[in-house]
A and B are shown apart, each in its own frame.
Chain A
Amino acid sequence: MNEMLEGFLRALQLIFSLNPEILNISALSLRVSGLAVILGSLVGIPTGTALGLMQFIGKRSLIRISNVLMRTTVNAFMGLPPVFVGLVIYLLLSTSGPFGPLHLLYTPTAMLIVQLILTIPVVTGITISAVDGVGEEVRDRALSLGATSWQLASTIVREARGGILTAIVASFGAAISEVGGIMIVGGNIRWFTRALTTAIMYETALGEFEMALALGIILLMLAFIVNLSLAFLQLRGVRR
């Protein structure tokens, strides 16, 4: 217990002394996860919205069947094991793989690709639920007031805004806490691809608990700050 307390105090010291390595690791984590969330949202929100809106406009059986198939695929991908994604991307980017010549393996870009594959289904899936939750009454109201199809779509998205922000929050949580996949494709290279989660694993294996704890505290703080900001946005969105 004493050891843990000492570790905790040392961790705080490392944080407040602005240790350059800790700063580098934190910045990389934020950059990769943040970019994954932004790009994932750019893909996932329109996709989820389109799939969600199909229930409002898709009465024909072909549209319904394809909608069900796509939703099932998204749901299945929401539970993708990160380590497996990491392995597949590793094989694709490795020298003998089809994308080997791009020399992306063991780079932050490879880590970003893994995180994107993990965040897109999360954003898409939760956005679908949010749009689904809007309900037929809102559709009827917008149409009865004379909305065109595009105006209806934008109204439904606006009504679903709280849920869509939840999708972004959840995807950030998934991205920042990811470890297995980015370890495989990033290689945990010091000053280059070492992220908070992979560094914690590494420092723990070395017995450097103070450093591991410091990184853990930063990870928690970052997750808390980002989630808090999004939660405020969510609250504002709901109240508007």
Chain B
Amino acid sequence: MTPLLEVRNLYKTYDGVEVLRGLGFTVDKEEFFVIIGPNGAGKTTILRILDLLDYPDRGEVFFNGISSTQYARVKYVLRRMMAVVFQRTRLFDMSVFDNIAYGLRIRGVREADVHRMVERTLSLVKLRGFEKRNALTLSGGEAQRVALAQALAIETELLLLDEPTANLDPASASLIEKVVASINREKGVTVILTTHNLFQARRLANRVAFLLNGEIVEVGATKDFFAKPQDARTKAFLEGKMVF
């Protein structure tokens, strides 16, 4: 079976520093794939490349077997198949409702359906009553829930989450985890989440990959990955012995 996503031999350099070094992995449909790694390992860069916000120096990404380079002239077509939430997503200077409706409106969804879908997503992230608030006046946790709602409202096949709960209060982090886990389980949305939170990876993932210095050191099913890491570097990271 063709994986939903296949990343082959990615290289990326920023200002002379090699951020990704021959990175490769695959993600199957409906999978919850977590990439763990320390800060600066290249986690954000991978997600930016997957969402075509950045380009690799070398290597290729295949989405449903089709190379993303084939979307070079119509990038938005590929982007509309996925949604991304960054660690600190900048919301638009408009109401919470309009922020969540944004992705639907640019897809030409009828306004009646927009209302229905936004209301449903607001309930999901427990932000009913916030519709008219300007999104820039929200707290960090609320803003991140709006960012997640923006991504969920457009109902994509793939959800990319870049450390979505970093710096959030436990209640907001827990809510985001629950919502993401449920849409993966109940709606079959494939999720790729990056984190340096090992507990979070263990709670959510079907498979985990360890990223270090731009390379995937080890990939494995969650249980095996944490119980029997194969690589000494993975073991050191999991045991908190790796100093950065």
Contact = CB atoms under 8 A, between A and B. Distances in A.
A155 interface: yes
B79 A144 contact: yes
A148 B95 contact: no
Interface stretch (B100-108, B211-219, B223-231): B100-108
A145 B83 contact: yes
A127 B92 CA distance: 19
B53 interface: yes
Contact of A159 (B80, B93, B151): B93
A141 to B, nearest CB: 6
A141 B100 CA distance: 12
A3 interface: no
Nearest to B136: A238
B114 to A, nearest CB: 13
B9 interface: no
Contact of B102 (A140, A145, A238, A240): A145
Contacts of A159: 92-93
B150 A143 contact: no
A27 interface: no
B92 A138 contact: yes
A146 interface: yes
Interface string B33-69: 0000000000000000001110000000000000000
B93 A145 contact: no
A151 interface: yes
Most chain B CB within 10 A, of A144, A155, A159, is at A144
B76 interface: yes
Contact size range, B: 20 to 34
Contact of A143 (B79, B90, B92, B107): B79
A151 B95 contact: no
B94 interface: yes
Interface string A130-145: 0000010110111111
Contacts of A142: 92, 102
A138 B94 CA distance: 12
A140 B53 contact: yes
Given A148-B106, A151-B106, A239-B134, A143 B94 contact: no
Contacts of B91: 141
Contacts of B107: 146
A54 interface: no
A12 to B, nearest CB: 43
Q: Which of A143, A145, A240 has the most CB of B within 10 A?
A: A145
A147 interface: yes
Among B51, B52, B91, B106, the one with the most A-chain Cβ atoms within 10 Å of its Cβ is B106
A138 B53 CA distance: 12
B90 A146 contact: no
Nearest to B88: A137
Closest 9 A-B residue pairs measured CB to CB? A137-B90, A146-B80, A145-B103, A144-B84, A151-B106, A146-B79, A148-B76, A146-B76, A144-B51
13 contacts: A140-B53, A140-B90, A141-B89, A142-B102, A144-B84, A145-B154, A146-B76, A146-B106, A146-B154, A147-B76, A238-B93, A239-B134, A240-B95
